[in-house]
C-alpha cells in the first residue's frame, strides 16, 4: 500500500442531486460539493452506484465531472464511475470521463451477465488500458453477481493504471490478505465496516455516510491512522446509526438524498425510476435531532 494514496483517503460516494422533475440540479451539485470539500473530503466519486449511474446519460456524467472539478478547484480529486456490463461502452465512458477532467475512474465489475474470471480480467484490462487515468476497481458482488477472486486481483494489480480497490465484499480476512499481497490501495466500500477495515490497514473510505457527515468520517480516518483507537471507536459509535439507517433500509442513494434534504444541504430528494423517494429513516431522524449537524 502506498503511504499517500493516489486518489486520496477520504472519498465520498456522492449522490446526484436532482430537481423534482428529474433533471440534474447544478445548483445543488455545487452546494453539495462545497459541503463535502468544507467537510474534508479529498476525493469525490461521481456517477457511482450512489450517484444513480445507470440512470444518467453519458452527457450528464461528463457535465457532472466538469462541474465538480470546477467547483473543487483542485481541493479534491474527482473519480468517475465508468463501468457497466458492456465493455465497449465502459471504454467509451472512461475516455469521456478523462476528457471531462476526471482524476480517477471507478470500475465496477460487469453486472447481470456474470462473466467468468477470465472475462472479468479481460474486461477490466481493456477499460483500464483505454486511458492513462488511475483506476479504482470496485468489487461489490451483492450488486453485480460476481466477485473478483484473489488470483484475478493479483493479475489486475499488475496493470499500470490500476491503483486500488473499493472493497464492498464484506470479507475482512480476504481484504487484509489481498491489500498486502497486491500492493493496491484498499478502500472500505461498506460504511458499516469502516472501522475494522481502517484498523486492518485500509488506506481510506469510499463512504455514503460522508454525504451527510464528512467531518465525522474524516475524524474516524484520522483517529485510526494516529492509533487513537478509543477515540475511533467512539466516533464509529456516533456514525453507526447513520450507516445502518441509510444503508440497511436502502437503497442508499434514495435514503441519503432524504437525509441531505432534511439537513438542508440539497433542496430535493428526487430520484429517477426505478428508484422512488424514500422516507427519512427513523434512525437518521433521531441522529439529526440529537444536536447533530452535518457540519459537526
Inside any domain, residue 148? yes
* Whether pLDDT at 66 is above 90: yes
In this prediction, residues 268-295 reach a mean pLDDT of 89
Residue (of 14, 11, 7, 5) closest to 49 by Cα position: 14
Alpha carbon distance 55, 8 (integer Å): 27
Q: At what angle do helices 58-72 and 26-38 cross, to 10 degrees?
A: 40
Percent of the chain with pLDDT over 90: 90
For residues 173 and 195, the answer to whether their CB atoms sit within 8 Å is no
Assess if residue 20 is contained within a domain. Answer: yes
Q: Identify whether 146 is part of a domain.
A: yes
* Cα–Cα distance measured from residue 213 to residue 104, given in angstroms and rounded to the nearest whole number: 23
- For the purposes of burial, counting CB atoms within 10 Å of the CB of 285, is it exposed (0-12), middle (13-18) or buried (19 or more)? middle
Separation of alpha carbons 47 and 80, rounded Å = 6
112 is catalytic: no
| pLDDT per position as a tens digit, 163-203 | 999 999 988 888 888 877 899 999 999 999 999 999 999 99
Residue 34 lies in a domain: yes
Nearest to 106 by CA among 39, 58, 167, 55: 167
Average pLDDT taken over every residue of the chain: 94
Judged against a pLDDT cut of 80, whether residue 77 lies above it is answered with yes
pLDDT of residue 160: 98
Residue 57 resides in a domain:
yes
Catalytic residue among 166, 169, 187, 257: 166
The answer on pLDDT for 2 being more than 50 is: no
Show the cell assigned to 193: 465496516
Neighbours of 74 (CB within 10 A): 8
Residue 45's pLDDT is 98
- Least Cα distance to 153 among 181, 188, 134, 130 occurs for 181
Beta-carbon neighbour count of residue 127 at 10 Å?
27
CA–CA gap between residue 44 and residue 48 (Å, rounded): 10
Q: What is the pTM of this model?
A: 0.95
Helix, strand, coil: what percent of the chain each, to 5? 50, 15, 40
In this prediction, residue 293 has a pLDDT band, given cuts at 50, 70 and 90, of: low
Per-residue model confidence (pLDDT) at position 258: 97
Number of domains in the chain: 1
C-alpha cell at 198: 481502517
Dihedral Cα 40, 255, 190, 18, nearest 10 deg: -60
Question: Is 280 inside a domain boundary?
Answer: no
Band the pLDDT of 1: cuts 50, 70, 90.
very low
CATH of the domain at 216: 3.20.20.70
CA-to-CA distance for 18 and 275, rounded, in angstroms?
13
86: alpha, beta or left? (left if phi > 0; alpha if psi -120 to 50): beta
Name residue, grid cell 478502500.
187
Nearest Cα neighbor of 147 from 124, 179, 176, 181 is 124
Catalytic choice (138, 169, 187, 257) = 138
Q: Which helix (H) or strand (E) holds 165?
A: strand 162-167
Q: Is 138 a catalytic residue?
A: yes
The Cα 79–Cα 47 span in angstroms is: 9
Closest by alpha carbon to 89, among 107, 70, 115? 107
Q: Which three cell numbers stand for residue 229?
A: 483507537
Reported as a single tens digit per residue, the pLDDT across 133-168 is 999 999 999 899 999 999 999 999 999 999 999 999
Residue 132 falls within a domain, yes or no? yes
- For 154, the domain range is 10-231
Query: Is the Cβ–Cβ distance between 99 and 66 less than 8 Å?
Result: no
DSSP string, 223-277: HHHTT-HHHHHHHHHHHHHHHHHHHSSS-HHHHHHHHHHHTTSSS-----TT---
> CA-CA distance, 30 to 47, in Å (whole number)?
15
Domain for residue 273, yes or no? no
Amino acid at each position: 500500500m502506498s503511504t499517500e494514496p493516489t486518489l486520496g483517503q477520504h472519498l465520498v460516494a456522492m449522490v446526484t442531486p436532482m430537481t423534482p422533475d428529474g433533471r440534474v440540479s447544478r445548483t445543488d451539485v455545487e452546494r453539495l460539493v462545497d459541503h463535502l470539500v468544507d467537510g474534508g473530503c479529498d476525493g469525490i466519486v461521481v456517477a457511482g452506484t450512489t450517484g444513480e449511474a445507470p440512470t444518467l446519460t453519458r452527457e450528464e456524467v461528463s457535465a457532472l465531472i466538469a462541474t465538480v472539478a470546477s467547483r473543487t478547484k483542485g481541493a479534491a480529486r474527482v473519480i468517475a464511475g465508468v463501468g457497466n456490463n458492456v465493455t465497449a461502452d465502459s471504454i467509451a465512458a472512461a475516455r469521456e470521463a478523462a476528457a471531462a477532467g476526471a482524476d480517477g475512474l471507478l470500475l465496477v465489475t460487469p453486472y447481470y451477465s456474470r462473466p467468468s474470471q477470465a472475462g472479468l480480467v479481460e474486461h477490466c484490462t481493456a477499460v483500464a488500458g483505454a486511458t492513462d487515468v488511475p483506476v479504482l476497481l470496485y468489487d461489490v458482488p451483492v450488486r453485480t453477481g460476481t466477485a473478483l477472486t484473489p488470483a484475478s486481483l493479483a493479475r489486475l494489480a499488475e496493470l499500470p493504471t490500476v491503483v486500488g480497490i473499493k472493497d464492498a465484499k464484506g470479507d475482512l480476512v480476504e481484504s487484509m490478505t489481498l491489500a498486502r499481497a497486491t500492493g493496491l490501495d484498499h478502500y472500505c466500500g461498506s460504511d458499516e465496516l469502516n472501522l475494522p477495515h481502517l484498523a486492518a490497514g485500509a488506506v481510506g473510505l469510499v463512504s455514503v455516510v460522508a454525504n451527510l457527515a464528512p467531518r465525522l468520517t474524516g475524524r474516524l480516518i484520522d483517529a485510526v491512522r494516529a492509533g487513537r483507537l478509543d477515540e475511533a471507536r467512539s466516533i464509529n459509535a456516533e456514525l453507526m446509526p447513520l450507516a445502518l439507517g441509510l444503508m440497511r433500509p436502502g437503497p442508499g442513494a434514495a435514503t441519503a438524498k432524504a437525509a441531505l434534504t432534511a439537513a438542508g444541504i440539497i433542496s430535493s430528494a428526487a430520484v429517477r425510476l426505478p428508484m422512488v423517494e424514500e422516507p427519512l429513516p427513523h434512525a437518521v431522524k433521531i441522529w439529526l435531532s440529537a444536536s447533530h449537524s452535518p457540519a459537526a
